[in-house]
Structure 1
């Protein structure tokens, strides 16, 4: 699906023109000092989300019935997975497939991106032996007495 870009001002000045373009394209509205907005027809959005739901279910089934295959696929998709220990890689695969299903069920994919960022950060720790050592050390807890109740 081709995407065309218009300014937000174009949309405000010529809304019917921009809406007419939605028959053939999605429209990205660029705004000054603010994130862009994307306009699309609702039926087109549903048409995009249904295959995502199917793919999420397919990956979940693959993870359940052939964990080795999903691990190999994850290594291809995310090269940093090579730094994760095997048990962590399996946990990543399990959490990712669960998150994909959950995201597809509510139409909010931001948690998937967050999960991938968190696992990539975990892989970065495993990739740095000194950092891994420091973060694996026990934390010395000192008790400084009760914490005062916040004021204001």
Structure 2
């Protein structure tokens, strides 16, 4: 699908032209000092959401029926998984499949980005032994102990 980029002001000055372009593909409206906007037709977005939901369910089924294959595929997609210990790598594969299915079902993908960002940071720590040792040391800070996160 074609994606056209236009300044936001084009929508205000030439809304019919922008609407014609939206019929042909998505239009990204560039804004100064604000996140860009993406215009798409509702039917196209419905199809996109249905496709992502199907992908999410497929990943989850693969994780249940063949976790090793999904682990290998995710290892190819995210080379930094190599630095995670085996148990953490298996946890990532399981969590990735669950969050992908849930995010697709809700049609919200921020949790997927957060999951990948957090696991990547964990891999960076494991890849740098000096950093890992520094982070394992007790910190000198006010307040009580923080409990480990629940599984």
Normalised by the length of structure 2, the TM-score is 0.89
- Counterpart position of 1:68: 68
Is residue 63–residue 93 contact of structure 2 (8 Å, CA) maintained in 1?
yes
Moved over 4 A (4+): 138-144
Counterpart in 2 of 1:44?
Answer: 44
Question: CA–CA distance in 2 between the matches of 1:91 and 1:21?
Answer: 44
1:120 maps to 2:120: yes
Matches within 5 A, 1:2-151: 2-139=2-139
Q: Distance in 2 between matches of 1:28 and 1:140?
A: 48
Which structure is larger by alpha-carbon Rg, 1 or 2? 1
- Structure 2: gaps (5+ residues): 145-151
Aligned-partner Cα distance in 2 for 1:24–1:6? 14
How many residues were matched structurally?
144
RMSD (Å), alpha carbons: 1.7
Quote the Cα distance in structure 1 between the aligned partners of 2:41 and 2:17: 15
Moved more, 3-12 or 116-125: 3-12
Deviations 1:61-109 (A, max 9, x none): 1111111111111110000000001110010011111111111111110
Deviation at 1:139, TM superposition (A): 4.9
Shift of residue 137, structure 1, vs aligned partner: 3.4
CA distance in 2, matches of 1:127, 1:97: 24
Unpaired segments of 5 or more residues in structure 1? 145-152
- For 2:136 and 2:122, the matched residues in 1 are separated by 12
